[in-house]
Amino acid sequence: MHDRPAPAKAFLGAVQHVLAAFVGAENFGSMENLLLGGGVLISVVLISIVPNKVIRSSAIFIGLMLGLLVAAFMGRIDFSLVSQAPLLTVPVPFRFGFSFDWQAFIPIAFMYIITSIETAGDLTATSMISGEPIKGPLYEKRIKGGVLADGVNSAIAGIFNSFPVTTFSQNNGVIQMTGIASRYVGFYVGGILFFMGLFPILGAIFTQLPKPVVGGVTLLMFATVATAGIRILSTVNFTHRNILIIATSLGLAMGVAFVPDVFAQMPQMFRNIFGSAVTVSGIIAITLDMILPKNYGAEFDTADQHAEDDVKPAQEAA
């Protein structure tokens, strides 16, 4: 049986983001922030039940804009920063030069491998909520294409002085909330974002969104991602072997997520690799999947749990 640690990773990442949605805002926990973030959250929920499909599918954007207007009325927007942004700019390839650092390459290359697992988890969730298969040749083709696209996009991003890019799990929350999963819509949105990227003043406006406003929206979006992760896990055969892999990787990753200083005394390279919950869960899950025998714990399982592989429970073999 082929084990997939990616769903557990997707679930963990979503839960972690939900818990961190409001953290970092100025005056964290103040009544003003709670009302602002809660108001945005409630507005998105209410707009999502409007009968009009166009309005309903725009609930996230409308909620953000309402939050932006309320924040501006409250004096939380600094328009002087917006006026300082240039109107138009064109990206220059390798504007900051080109160099290579082995110390930076090794941990980042390793994290790229783990990111591929994240991509697989995100695309699995996308396939499920879009009504596409999560097994078989078509599913595997989608996973391969997604990982390849991540690599190509990251290479282009590096050329144009940006950070590497990867699939973002909260996009699955957008699909669930809007009901729109068409790739052609994605093409148009990508074109719009490319065009908007030429106008820094637009980016300056969105960077003025207060964290409670963003948190009010992302709280709901990442919660829907967590729900998708649970749905994916529900498709896994919970054999004794699978439970051990999921529990170990999830438990260690949660430890790193909630106690980030656990590796504070370790070397920097070790912290670069194992300081991320995603990295830890991916490494542990892959390692256990490789070293644990396929028939590990089969004596505790039923025949139905191993219907898709060659492993037979001890009671059936007897």
* Closest C-alpha among 274, 249, 255, 266 to residue 107: 274
**pLDDT value of position 110:** 74
Q: What confidence category does residue 42 fall into, taking pLDDT thresholds of 50, 70 and 90?
A: very high
**Rounded alpha-carbon distances, angstroms, from residue 118 to 21, 165, 278, 300:** 20, 12, 8, 30
pLDDT per residue over 271-307, tens digit each?
A: 877 877 877 887 888 899 999 988 888 888 887 777 7
**pLDDT value of position 248:** 93
Residue with the larger pLDDT of the pair 44 and 306 = 44
How many CA atoms within 13 Å lie on the side-chain side of 279? 15
Mean pLDDT computed over 250-264: 87
Q: What confidence category does residue 24 fall into, taking pLDDT thresholds of 50, 70 and 90?
A: low
104 vs 269: CA distance, rounded Å: 9
**Which tokens is 129 given?**
């909520």
The DSSP call for residue 296 is T
Q: Name residues whose C-beta falls within 8 Å of residue 36's C-beta, 6 or more positions apart in sequence.
A: 67, 70, 71, 74, 76, 210, 212, 213, 216
* Closest C-alpha among 33, 57, 34, 35 to residue 47: 57
Helices 211-233 & 59-73 angle (0-180, nearest 10):
150
Q: Name residues whose C-beta falls within 8 Å of residue 151's C-beta, 6 or more positions apart in sequence.
A: 112
Which single residue is written with the structure tokens 């999947």?
Answer: 289
